[in-house]
A and B are shown apart, each in its own frame.
Chain A
Amino acid sequence: MSRKVAIIGIGMTKFGELWNKRYRDLITEAGADAIKDAGIEGEDIQGLYIGSMSPGLFAGQEHIGALVADYSGLSGIPATRIEAACASGGLALREAYLTIKSGAMDIVVAGGVEKMTDVTTSSATIALMGAGDQEWEAFKGVTFPSLYALMARRHMAEYGTTIEQISQVAVKSHHNASLNPHAQFPFKVTSEQVMNSAIIADPLRLLHCSPITDGAAAVVLASEEKAKRLVDDPIWIIGSSSATDTIALHDRKSLSRMDSTIIASKKAYKETKIKPEDIDFAEVHDCFSIAEILAIEGLSFCKLGDGGKITENGETEIDGRIPINPSGGLKGKGHPVGATGIAQAVEATLQLRGKAGKRQIKDSENALIHNVGGSGATTVIHILKRG
């Protein structure tokens, strides 16, 4: 398992309410962009992994691997759909990475896609709740905003985290999204607007919640040998880890931390011999503003309980100590669930290449991407390195 794996091409659709684009249009558009970016041909691709959470409920479509291969003109190659709720994209990336690392293939595309706006909001909410425990949570009327609201309440009670601090996550995400042409919400919001937005699940308000989004992203992965021959600026995946926790929130040891993130990050740091302070920026899973606070604590960018404080101090801003979600995150950029984990890799690659435009983080070398499924039952982490 000594082969190195690189990202050599990236592609991503605009995120948003893309009424005139079908599920298959989204993923083929992102895939074609990634292939073009890598400068390879279709016949170079040996395998596909597609992260997609719930195309059956959102678009009536299953059998995603074959569909994507077909509409990409790649029929014949193995193509596999990966599902782990909102961590589907991150896990698809991991499977592609492992496939190359194992020596089974040399060039693999990892994509992620979700088409969420063809159904009503209530249908989308039901589909998303499939990420939780159907018998012990969904049947009792629990939805995702309420699960994260419970975590927020607990965090506030245990650590004194304030609603102002939680709101600052959304303010920062929207600021970064305003610099991202692919973002669903490329505009700024004030703390006051966040705290006065409609209440969803107390204490979480509308602007603490990531949106329902259509979108897709894709990356081309290659072995060291191929990468060096094909591109000048490969971005290396130097670490990949994943961890699980109980599917239901009430079975967790603690509601105020995310153990799957803590376990996965420890593994990733150990594997890469990189310390949290060596990470120059991170794309983390802020499906709700409280989730970003849990993420940066779980990733050891600060002590448990200090996530709100370092956000309030500006340490997670683009020019701060540890920039978080320069893309705008799930909140500002949008959250087409299956695509999110791949879109994080796209952003990290852009940043490490120094091609992120107005939101470019200076002199970054190591990036961490963090993708969560459900209320934290799955975490996938990758560490990316320039050069």
Chain B
Amino acid sequence: MAVGIVGYGVYIPKYRIKTEEIARVWGADGENIRKALFIHEKTVPAIDEDTSTISVECARNAIQHARIDPQEIGAIYVGSESHPYAVKPTATIVAAAIDAVPELTAADYEFACKAGTAAMQTSMGLVKSKMIKYGLAIGADTSQGKPGDALEYTASAGGGAYIIGTKNLIAEIHDTYSYTTDTPDFWRREGQEFPSHGARFTGQPAYFKHVIQTARGIMSKNKLKPDDFDYVVFHQPNGKFPLKAAKTIGFEKRQIMKGLVTPYIGNTYSGSTLLGLARVLDEANEGEMILAVSYGSGAGSDAFIIEVTKENEKRRNPKPLQGYMDRKEYVDYATYAKFKGKLKGVKLEKP
């Protein structure tokens, strides 16, 4: 039985801050950072946007695209590392907002930047075993970067929602494969406001090792090689890492550029791979093959082999990512600091 994507939806906030503006505040060389990390600008969530609002936006868009009755969704999983509540699910907020309540199961996931793809895998299992008709998998974040830290140039906000089912698929997921180790490259302890990271340790032994092993693993399992894919999408903490990983494995620029969105919207963490994949799906045609590989610090990767169907051409996503990417308003660092609640003593009261 085929399993795959019935519909998907994306959302990113409209505010942007440029790399140079952040660098200006910290006395750093913005142009150098922009080139070194391949990051031009990132999204900034407005003061009233959080992971739940972003999740609801992209879930609504996914329903609109899939043209299904939300009551037929049997499971909702929201992957994020910035759930607004430590205790109380984001998934229930989404379920209520799209009117999928009450006969469904729901839970929040966390696996750094790959919780969204973990949600896709769970949904695949549930629909394939016929426990549910549709599963809704969401990856969304309003990620945190400590002021002045290298992460501040990339940590952004956005999300993607995927409705997983067995019929009317716009893309079939042929296989999924995961690779997991205990590698502490990036973490945030309970109660801490900002994450910590192992600087260069987040590169070779963390991101590259997992992404490359996972991509090679799923290709070898399915007897496929880089040439067999039209597109490849990797988790994209910045613009540079996925390009380097792609080159190492043997992919060419033409295969990766379409799904490389971080240079223009920043690293949306749990949304990152899902948004890159969405940008490819927005334009992909029947028979085109996509390899998608997420990465979550801590650490692990999930890979998917996806083949686009004719349905995707017949039923193009009415709200493509490009539309959201073009809709933008730049803010300065002061406004960004206000929106992100970084101003000391001027915190938005949360109930």
Contacts of B36 in A (CB 8 A): 198
B 28-49 to A, binary, CB cutoff 8 A, 1 in contact else 0: 0100100010000000000000
Q: How large is the interface on B (under 10, 10 to 19, 20 to 34, 35 or more residues)?
A: under 10
Q: Tell me whether B205 and A117 are in contact (CB under 8 A).
A: no
User: What are 16 A-B pairs with beta-carbon distances under 8 A?
Assistant: A17-B200, A17-B201, A17-B204, A19-B201, A19-B204, A19-B205, A20-B205, A117-B200, A117-B201, A120-B198, A120-B199, A121-B199, A198-B29, A198-B32, A198-B36, A199-B29
Best-buried of B36, B198, B204 by chain A (most CB within 10 Å): B198
B80 to chain A, nearest CB (A): 26
- For the complex, what is the distance from the CA of A19 to the CA of B199, rounded to whole Å? 12
B29 to chain A, nearest CB (A): 6
B185 to chain A, nearest CB (A): 10
- Interfacial residues of chain B within 220-278, with CB under 8 A of chain A in the complex: none
- For the complex, what is the distance from the CA of A17 to the CA of B200, rounded to whole Å? 9
The 9 A-B pairs of least Cβ separation, nearest first, read: A19-B205, A198-B32, A120-B199, A121-B199, A198-B29, A17-B200, A19-B201, A199-B29, A17-B204
Contacts of A199 in B (CB 8 A): 29
With both beta carbons as reference points, the residue of chain A lying nearest to B150 in the complex is identified as: A121
Contacts of B200 in A (CB 8 A): 17, 117
- Interfacial residues of chain B within 1-48, with CB under 8 A of chain A in the complex: 29, 32, 36
With both beta carbons as reference points, the residue of chain B lying nearest to A20 in the complex is identified as: B205
- For the complex, what is the distance from the CA of A120 to the CA of B36, rounded to whole Å? 19
A 108-122 to B, binary, CB cutoff 8 A, 1 in contact else 0: 000000000100110
- For the complex, what is the distance from the CA of A199 to the CA of B28, rounded to whole Å? 9
A 172-206 to B, binary, CB cutoff 8 A, 1 in contact else 0: 00000000000000000000000000110000000
- For the complex, what is the distance from the CA of A20 to the CA of B200, rounded to whole Å? 14
Contacts of B29 in A (CB 8 A): 198-199
Contacts of A20 in B (CB 8 A): 205
> Interface of A with B (CB < 8 Å)?
17, 19-20, 117, 120-121, 198-199
B 174-200 to A, binary, CB cutoff 8 A, 1 in contact else 0: 000000000000000000000000111
- For the complex, what is the distance from the CA of A17 to the CA of B204, rounded to whole Å? 10
Main secondary structure of the interface of B (DSSP, over half): helix
With both beta carbons as reference points, the residue of chain A lying nearest to B201 in the complex is identified as: A19
- For the complex, what is the distance from the CA of A135 to the CA of B200, rounded to whole Å? 31
Question: 13 other contacts beyond A17-B201, A19-B204, A198-B36, with CB at 8 A cut-off?
Answer: A17-B200, A17-B204, A19-B201, A19-B205, A20-B205, A117-B200, A117-B201, A120-B198, A120-B199, A121-B199, A198-B29, A198-B32, A199-B29
A135 to chain B, nearest CB (A): 27
- For the complex, what is the distance from the CA of A17 to the CA of B36, rounded to whole Å? 20
Contacts of B198 in A (CB 8 A): 120
With both beta carbons as reference points, the residue of chain A lying nearest to B183 in the complex is identified as: A19
- For the complex, what is the distance from the CA of A198 to the CA of B200, rounded to whole Å? 17
B340 to chain A, nearest CB (A): 23
B26 to chain A, nearest CB (A): 13
- For the complex, what is the distance from the CA of A121 to the CA of B36, rounded to whole Å? 18
Contacts of A198 in B (CB 8 A): 29, 32, 36
Contacts of B204 in A (CB 8 A): 17, 19
B151 to chain A, nearest CB (A): 13
- For the complex, what is the distance from the CA of A97 to the CA of B218, rounded to whole Å? 57
Best-buried of B29, B36, B200, B205 by chain A (most CB within 10 Å): B200
With both beta carbons as reference points, the residue of chain A lying nearest to B36 in the complex is identified as: A198
Best-buried of A19, A117, A198 by chain B (most CB within 10 Å): A19
- For the complex, what is the distance from the CA of A192 to the CA of B172, rounded to whole Å? 49
A121 to chain B, nearest CB (A): 6
A334 to chain B, nearest CB (A): 14
- For the complex, what is the distance from the CA of A120 to the CA of B186, rounded to whole Å? 12
- For the complex, what is the distance from the CA of A121 to the CA of B29, rounded to whole Å? 18
- For the complex, what is the distance from the CA of A19 to the CA of B207, rounded to whole Å? 14
- For the complex, what is the distance from the CA of A239 to the CA of B200, rounded to whole Å? 41
- For the complex, what is the distance from the CA of A246 to the CA of B36, rounded to whole Å? 39
- For the complex, what is the distance from the CA of A6 to the CA of B201, rounded to whole Å? 40
Contacts of A17 in B (CB 8 A): 200-201, 204
- For the complex, what is the distance from the CA of A120 to the CA of B151, rounded to whole Å? 14
With both beta carbons as reference points, the residue of chain A lying nearest to B200 in the complex is identified as: A17
B86 to chain A, nearest CB (A): 27
A273 to chain B, nearest CB (A): 48
With both beta carbons as reference points, the residue of chain B lying nearest to A196 in the complex is identified as: B32
- For the complex, what is the distance from the CA of A117 to the CA of B200, rounded to whole Å? 9
Contacts of A120 in B (CB 8 A): 198-199
Contacts of B32 in A (CB 8 A): 198
A79 to chain B, nearest CB (A): 31
With both beta carbons as reference points, the residue of chain A lying nearest to B206 in the complex is identified as: A19
A292 to chain B, nearest CB (A): 25
B205 to chain A, nearest CB (A): 5
B206 to chain A, nearest CB (A): 9
- For the complex, what is the distance from the CA of A120 to the CA of B202, rounded to whole Å? 12
Contacts of B201 in A (CB 8 A): 17, 19, 117
- For the complex, what is the distance from the CA of A123 to the CA of B56, rounded to whole Å? 42
- For the complex, what is the distance from the CA of A198 to the CA of B37, rounded to whole Å? 13
With both beta carbons as reference points, the residue of chain A lying nearest to B185 in the complex is identified as: A19
Contacts of A117 in B (CB 8 A): 200-201
Best-buried of B199, B201, B204 by chain A (most CB within 10 Å): B199
- For the complex, what is the distance from the CA of A91 to the CA of B36, rounded to whole Å? 39
- For the complex, what is the distance from the CA of A17 to the CA of B201, rounded to whole Å? 9
Contacts of B199 in A (CB 8 A): 120-121
- For the complex, what is the distance from the CA of A121 to the CA of B199, rounded to whole Å? 8
B254 to chain A, nearest CB (A): 27
A308 to chain B, nearest CB (A): 26
B202 to chain A, nearest CB (A): 11
A146 to chain B, nearest CB (A): 15
- For the complex, what is the distance from the CA of A279 to the CA of B183, rounded to whole Å? 49
A37 to chain B, nearest CB (A): 30
- For the complex, what is the distance from the CA of A198 to the CA of B27, rounded to whole Å? 12
With both beta carbons as reference points, the residue of chain A lying nearest to B197 in the complex is identified as: A120
A120 to chain B, nearest CB (A): 5
- For the complex, what is the distance from the CA of A86 to the CA of B97, rounded to whole Å? 62
B238 to chain A, nearest CB (A): 16
A123 to chain B, nearest CB (A): 10
A212 to chain B, nearest CB (A): 9
- For the complex, what is the distance from the CA of A108 to the CA of B161, rounded to whole Å? 66
Contacts of A121 in B (CB 8 A): 199
- For the complex, what is the distance from the CA of A120 to the CA of B146, rounded to whole Å? 15
A52 to chain B, nearest CB (A): 22
With both beta carbons as reference points, the residue of chain A lying nearest to B198 in the complex is identified as: A120
- For the complex, what is the distance from the CA of A121 to the CA of B149, rounded to whole Å? 12
- For the complex, what is the distance from the CA of A17 to the CA of B203, rounded to whole Å? 11
With both beta carbons as reference points, the residue of chain A lying nearest to B205 in the complex is identified as: A19
- Interfacial residues of chain B within 143-169, with CB under 8 A of chain A in the complex: none
Contacts of A19 in B (CB 8 A): 201, 204-205
